[in-house]
Structure 1
């Protein structure tokens, strides 16, 4: 009985870590995204706006996953924001994609808050929380790496 209880407790304690690593992290508002950027002050923040039906988004997501593996979490924060309107499609996509960073389903205000008119869209913030890059359209892994490396070099990290 004690072993079963301990196993259940350990499973529950690891659940938030699994979720934070890349499973659905719940819905998020525009203010919630801004709060996440502020909370990550001292780190470079990469915000990727995508949708499960967007072909260019699907092409760049593997590069974002690879970049998350490359950069230490204490230096760079990645945040995925899905603009899917069909929650079922969103949940299926997140479940089948090996995201290694938190992914949120955007509330309707997110597009207006961040001026998202097309996807994919990538915003990158420097360690002071200032927007350093606003990139609309497909972003290659090399472009992403150059942008992040440049900001890390600026902060001496």
Structure 2
């Protein structure tokens, strides 16, 4: 019986992962983002702050999705944080965009916690959880990959 339960739980986990992480991952506070960075110790963590109405954000999201495909999840973690104020717009955007990483709707404290004054904004943390990149504005895919590659070399990956 216990083996069946474990098997069932693993099957549910696999099914949720195989569907992708494009589904809304729920609201997140600033501390929740910081907790996710700490939990990913030993991995590079990319945090992308965006909004569905932001044109530069819409330009860079496909590059982030492609980078997520390129890097193994045991080496690099991606977290999307939407600063949309209209929940309906947020949900529509997340549903129609093929995100392959968790995307959260930001609680109001997120902007002040991370000093977000403009979007898009990308923060990249090294394997020790230290902020290594703080980039405001559009980040082209090649710049994103170069930053990740540099940090992966630093942690010996």
Q: Confirm or deny a common fold (TM above 0.5).
A: yes
Structure 1: 4+ residue segments shifted above 3 A: 9-16
Cα RMSD (Å): 1.9
- In structure 2, relative to structure 1, the CA distance for the partners of 1:156 and 1:90 (3 Å cut) is same
SS in 2 for 1:35: helix
Where does residue 66 of structure 2 map in the other structure? 66
| Aligned counterparts of 2:20 and 2:42: Cα–Cα separation in 1 | 19
- In structure 2, relative to structure 1, the CA distance for the partners of 1:33 and 1:96 (3 Å cut) is same
Deviation at 1:17, TM superposition (A): 2.4
Where does residue 78 of structure 1 map in the other structure? 78
Deviation at 1:20, TM superposition (A): 6.2
Structure 2: state its 5+ residue gaps. Answer: 1-8
- In structure 2, relative to structure 1, the CA distance for the partners of 1:73 and 1:13 (3 Å cut) is closer
Kept in 2, the 8 Å contact 1:19–1:102? The answer is: no
| Aligned counterparts of 1:122 and 1:156: Cα–Cα separation in 2 | 23
| Aligned counterparts of 1:95 and 1:21: Cα–Cα separation in 2 | 11
Matched, 1:120 2:148: no
SS in 1 for 2:78: strand
- In structure 2, relative to structure 1, the CA distance for the partners of 1:88 and 1:13 (3 Å cut) is same
| Aligned counterparts of 2:16 and 2:95: Cα–Cα separation in 1 | 15
Where does residue 21 of structure 1 map in the other structure? 21
Kept in 2, the 8 Å contact 1:19–1:25? The answer is: no
The count of aligned residue pairs is 150
Deviation at 1:23, TM superposition (A): 1.4
SS in 1 for 2:65: helix
